Each structure stands twice: as structure tokens, then as C-alpha cells.
Amino acid sequence: MSTSSAYSGAFDRLVAGIVPYVPQPIVRRLAQPYVAGTTLDDAVRTVRELNAAGLQATVDVLGEAVRDAATASAAADSCIRALDVISAEALGATISVKPSAVGSELSWEIAGGQIERVVRRAEELGSFVCIDMEDSGSTDHTLALFRRLREAGHTQVGTVLQARLWRTAADAAALAPLRPTIRLCKGIYQESPAVAMHDRDAIRRSFSRILRLLLGAGAFVSVATHDEELIVDALDAIDKTGVAPDGYEFQTLLGVRPDLARVLARDHTVRLYVPFGPDSYAYSQRRLRENPQIAGYVARDVLRAFARSVRRPPTQPPYGGTQ
Ligand code: FAD
């Protein structure tokens, strides 16, 4: 491992360690650029703006770790409502669904049934559903669900592979004969070294290798990264494989490197991940953990809050007495 990647690895671990202790209101405020808002109307407004700028979207109804069947079913209903509105308004957008938002922590049978319901509606409307990938404990189930849906004849469904998992090259090879639609990303969940690579350069090499494997097998790949080195590598792989412009796309997250999305969209399809909903805390925490400037932002925000509290005259308790 190089000295610089050892330092940046230590810094990443430090930052990842700070975020859980940042108060919720500060997390929400700092994470505003990453989330379209709390309502479907907010998401629609954001997608319209993106479409006007030549960008596509994949809309995610925020929520995860749902542990009762009624909430799981309501979450799937929200996805279906989003699909209906996307279709009615002729927006350039698809849908992303997290298995844990539709009950996977309760039972994979329930989550699978709910996701199939969403996929059916997407097919009726000519849209598409991506099953997001969560932590490594869910990888087997998610891939099995994806395979089951494809084998049941559903074509408008894809899933995600995480380049940092040691297992992913083998997973990609096993899925390749399906010519799947795959979002390839590095992977955001914190995993043990036995499960996932922790060295940045190793993760990059894994990404590059899996991308070539998938493109070579005729899969539709969504290259989901803001890492310029990987984007340049992907452009090279796309060129060398001779894949047609409708055989791949780039994906980025709302609020992350908008400049990059705009530049790539001049010559390629670019789709932004647009999350919305009242339940944004877990998603926001993950985004802040990855923001290279997070330590500075948090420090500034905490100092500002401290300065405000020093300037403000002390408040009296509502019914007298001491506070
Ligand atoms: P990094 O090295 O993390 O980032 C490269 C550069 O991008 C940084 O130097 C910085 O300039 C910028 N950047 C990255 N993140 C931020 C940020 N939060 N704020 C400000 N700047 C930032 N992961 C999963 O595990 N499962 C999924 O289903 C999943 N879906 C995704 C969908 C999309 C469309 C995208 C783009 C990512 C998704 N991810 C998912 C997250 C992914 O795994 C990475 O954690 C995330 O993309 C950051 O990695 P990176 O490749 O951009 O490289």
C-alpha cells in the first residue's frame, strides 16, 4: 500500500468515525444538496430541472430497515405512485428500490413480493427498476431475487454490484450469461477486511476489471462513480469494447460533482440518483461520510452554532426556576 493511500485510508476512517456523533439537525442541514426534498412533488421538480439540463434520473423513495409488513407495502405503493407520476409527466426517470425499505429485514419473501409488484407496474409503464445493493449480508438474497425476477420473464429490472467486495468478480461472471443491467459502484457499506477490500487502489482495479468483464459479456452497465480516474478508465473500456452509446450510461448522485455530470452528458447518457422522502437520515449520514470536506463543514457548522448561542441573550425557562 502506498503512503498516500495509507494516510487517506486513516483519514477516511477518522471521518467515518465522526459522522455518527454529529447531531441530527446538522446532518440534515449539511446533507440538503444530496436529497431532493421530502415529497414526490420535490422529486418531480428536481427531475424536471435535470431533464431540462439533458440529464436522466433514477428516483429513490428514501427509507430502509422497515420491520413491519404494512410499512413495507406502503413503501412499495410509494414507488408505484412515483412510477405513475413519472409516466404521466413524461419524465426521463426510472426507479431505485432498497430491499430493506420494502421489508427484507422482516423476510426476503415479503421484500421480493413487493419488488415484483413495483417491477410489474414499471413494465406496464415502459419504465425500469434498479434493486439497490445494501450491506454484504444482503448480497446473496439480492442477487437471488434479481435472478428469480429475470427467470420469471421480467426484463425491466436491474441490480447493483459493489466492486469492493472480494466476491464481486465471481458474481459478475455468474450473472453475465443473463446479459444483465448492472449498476457498478465501489460500495458504501462498512465491511470487514474478510469481506471487502479497504485499499483505494485495489478497489479501483477491481472496478476496472469487473467493468470490462460485464461490458465484454454484453451487459448494460451503469458506471456509478465520481472518481475521475475510474471515469477515464471506463471511457477507455467503452471505446475498446466498441459498446454502442445505448449500451451503457454513467450515474452520479444528486449533489455530488454536478460539474462532472454536465461534462459527461455532452457525449454520454448520464443518470442522477434522486432520493426523496422524510426518512433521509441514514442516507444523509452515508453521503456525509464520503464527503472529503466533511470535517471542515462540521467544524464550521458547530462553530457557527456556538457563536450564535454566545451572541443570543440567555433564555428564561418557561415557568421560572433554573434551567
Ligand atoms: P470516491 O473516491 O468516494 O469519490 C470520488 C470523488 O467524488 C471524491 O474525491 C469527491 O470529489 C466526490 N465525492 C464522492 N462522494 C462525495 C460526497 N458525498 N460529497 C461530496 N463529494 C463527494 N453504493 C452501494 O453500496 N449500493 C448502491 O446501491 C449504491 N448506489 C449508488 C448509485 C449511484 C448512482 C452512485 C453514484 C453511487 C451509488 N453507491 C451505492 C455509492 C457508491 O458505492 C460509492 O460509495 C459512492 O459513489 C462514492 O464513491 P466514488 O466511486 O464516487 O469514489
The answer, yes or no, to whether any atom of ligand 1 lies below 6 A from the CB of 234, is: no
The domain tally of the chain equals: 1
Centre of ligand 1 to C-alpha 290, Å, is 7
Q: Residue 211 domain-assigned?
A: yes
Catalytic residues: 132, 183
Cα 217 to Cα 270: distance, rounded to the nearest angstrom: 22
Cα 289 to Cα 14: distance, rounded to the nearest angstrom: 10
Centre of ligand 1 to C-alpha 184, Å, is 11
State residue 188 phi and psi, 5-degree precision: -105, -20
Cα 272 to Cα 58: distance, rounded to the nearest angstrom: 6
Cα 253 to Cα 58: distance, rounded to the nearest angstrom: 10
Cα 128 to Cα 86: distance, rounded to the nearest angstrom: 11
Q: Residue 160 domain-assigned?
A: yes
State residue 319 phi and psi, 5-degree precision: -115, 30
| pLDDT, position 310 | 65
**Cell numbers found for residue 39:** 415529497
The answer, yes or no, to whether any atom of ligand 1 lies below 6 A from the CB of 132, is: yes
Centre of ligand 1 to C-alpha 187, Å, is 8
Q: Which residue has the cell 425476477?
A: 149
Tell me, what CATH number does 127's domain have?
A: 3.20.20.220
Q: Is residue 152 a contact partner of residue 180, using CB atoms and an 8 Å limit? A: no
Helix (H, G, I), strand (E, B) or coil at 157: strand
Q: Residue 314 domain-assigned?
A: no
Identify each DSSP E strand in the chain by its residue range.
56-61, 93-97, 129-131, 157-162, 181-185, 220-224, 248-253, 270-276
Q: Is residue 216 a contact partner of residue 173, using CB atoms and an 8 Å limit? A: no
Cα 111 to Cα 117: distance, rounded to the nearest angstrom: 10
Q: Residue 225 domain-assigned?
A: yes
Q: Residue 29 domain-assigned?
A: no
**Beta bridge partner(s), residue 131:** 97, 159
Q: Residue 96 domain-assigned?
A: yes
Q: Is residue 107 a contact partner of residue 135, using CB atoms and an 8 Å limit? A: no
Q: Residue 201 domain-assigned?
A: yes
State residue 6 phi and psi, 5-degree precision: -65, -40
The per-residue pLDDT string of the chain (323 residues; one tens digit each, 9 = 90 and over) reads: 444 444 555 655 566 667 788 888 888 888 999 999 999 999 999 999 999 999 999 999 998 889 899 999 999 999 999 999 999 999 999 999 999 999 999 999 999 999 999 999 999 999 999 999 999 999 999 999 999 999 999 999 999 999 999 999 999 999 999 999 999 999 999 999 999 999 999 999 999 999 999 999 999 999 999 999 999 999 999 999 999 999 999 999 999 999 999 999 999 999 999 999 998 999 999 998 888 777 667 667 666 766 776 665 544 433 233 33
Q: Tell me which of 227, 228, 270, 274 to substitute to probe ligand 1's pocket, judged by most ligand atoms within 8 Å of the beta carbon.
A: 227
Closest CA to 268 of 243, 245, 241: 245
Q: Tell me which of 186, 197, 285 to substitute to probe ligand 1's pocket, judged by most ligand atoms within 8 Å of the beta carbon.
A: 186
How many CB atoms are closer than 10 A to CB 62? Answer: 22
> In which domain, by residue range, is 164 found?
39-306
Q: Residue 14 domain-assigned?
A: no
Helix (H, G, I), strand (E, B) or coil at 189: coil
